[in-house]
Amino acid sequence: MGCLKGKVALVSGARQGIGRGIALCFAEEGADVLIGDLTCGEETAREVEAIEKLGCRARATQVDVSVREEVQGWISEGVSHMGRLDIAVANAALNMRQPFAEAHWADVQRTVAVTQFGVFHTCQLAAQQMLAQGGGGKIIVIGSIHAEHPFANNAAYDMSKGAIRQLVGVMANELARHHINVNMINPGWIDTPSEHVTRTEEELERVARRIPWGRLGTPREVGRCAVFLASPDAEYITGAEIRVDGGFKVVLTLPEPGSGGQK
């Protein structure tokens, strides 16, 4: 415990789900946390309170990561409040599932603006702060197995996740000499509040049975992976991808027993 003590971490899309899981795991390890989300209200207030109970500082800011000026303001105000920035997690994303041939252009643009350009803004502006400070830093991008497998009805989202996968490599290449680690986590099917909005409990149970681990993942499991990548234990790791999916990606390329076909 305490491997991030004294560090300041920024997490986008941290109001709930994976982002919240990461923020709380960071605080458990001693990091102060800058929470950013499109909506800030009771949920983020409770999150701030939970982090403060762990003995760490927390600050919640309403920010649309697709708007570069808002991201810059979030980072600038956060650094002014906390003193520095050591860890940045680009987690915020948006997906509006539609068949490719029927996808509304406005929805495609919004998905890309948040899921691709929002990651670029968050990472670039965080990197600029880390370079100005000196002393290195950690950047973690939350990707998805959608960056590795083409799922139907997810054209804009999958395209964006594939793009940020390549961005991670470029950032790792350029920032290594400054000792800024850049890595990517690709979660599989994670049990987040949004899943319970878009699917019935019966559907989620069926999905869980298909995953080799026998259940959906949890935000905390992604959060613990992020802690590792943000910690001194990952000092020599950069440009890497870690899949947190309970083996879900593996079965996407294997035939059903006795079916002779692909899933």
Give the separation between CA 255 and CA 263, rounded to whole angstroms: 6
State the average pLDDT over residues 149-162.
Answer: 95
For 191, residues 6+ apart whose C-beta sits below 8 A from its C-beta are: 204, 215, 216, 217, 218, 219
Mean pLDDT score of the chain: 94
With 80 as the cut, is the pLDDT of residue 64 above it? yes
Query: In terms of Cα–Cα distance, which of 104, 119, 14 is closest to 59?
Result: 14
- Domain coordinates of the chain in residue numbers? 8-248
With 90 as the cut, is the pLDDT of residue 256 above it? no
Check: CB of residue 105 under 8 Å from CB of residue 38. Answer: no
With 50 as the cut, is the pLDDT of residue 18 above it? yes
pLDDT greater at residue 257 or residue 120: 120
With 90 as the cut, is the pLDDT of residue 261 above it? no
Over residues 189-247, the pLDDT tens digits come to 999 988 888 788 888 898 888 899 999 999 999 999 999 999 999 999 999 999 999 99
State the average pLDDT over residues 175-184.
Answer: 98
Structural tokens at position 20: 């919240």
Tell me which amino acid residue 116 is. Answer: Q
Confidence of residue 61 (pLDDT cuts 50, 70, 90): very high
Query: In terms of Cα–Cα distance, which of 221, 195, 229 is closest to 89?
Result: 229
DSSP track, 233-252? GGTT--S-EEEESTTHHHHT
> What pLDDT score does 263 carry?
31
> What pLDDT score does 1 carry?
72
- CA-angle at 146, arms to 254 and 163, nearest 5°: 135
> What pLDDT score does 253 carry?
65
> What pLDDT score does 258 carry?
52
Give the separation between CA 148 and CA 242, rounded to whole angstroms: 12
Catalytic residue positions, numbered: 157
- CA-angle at 17, arms to 154 and 143, nearest 5°: 45
Check: CB of residue 27 under 8 Å from CB of residue 54. Answer: yes
Q: Roughly what angle, to the nearest 10 degrees, separates helices 155-175 and 118-133?
A: 20
Question: What percent of the chain is modeled with pLDDT above 90?
Answer: 86
pTM: 0.94
Give domain 8-248's CATH number out of 3.50.50.60, 3.40.50.720, 3.40.50.300, 3.40.50.10320.
3.40.50.720
Give the separation between CA 232 and CA 167, rounded to whole angstroms: 23
Structural tokens at position 235: 């000092």
Give the separation between CA 22 and CA 33, rounded to whole angstroms: 10
Over residues 66-102, the pLDDT tens digits come to 999 999 999 999 999 999 999 999 999 999 999 999 9
> What pLDDT score does 184 carry?
98
Give the separation between CA 128 and CA 249, rounded to whole angstroms: 34
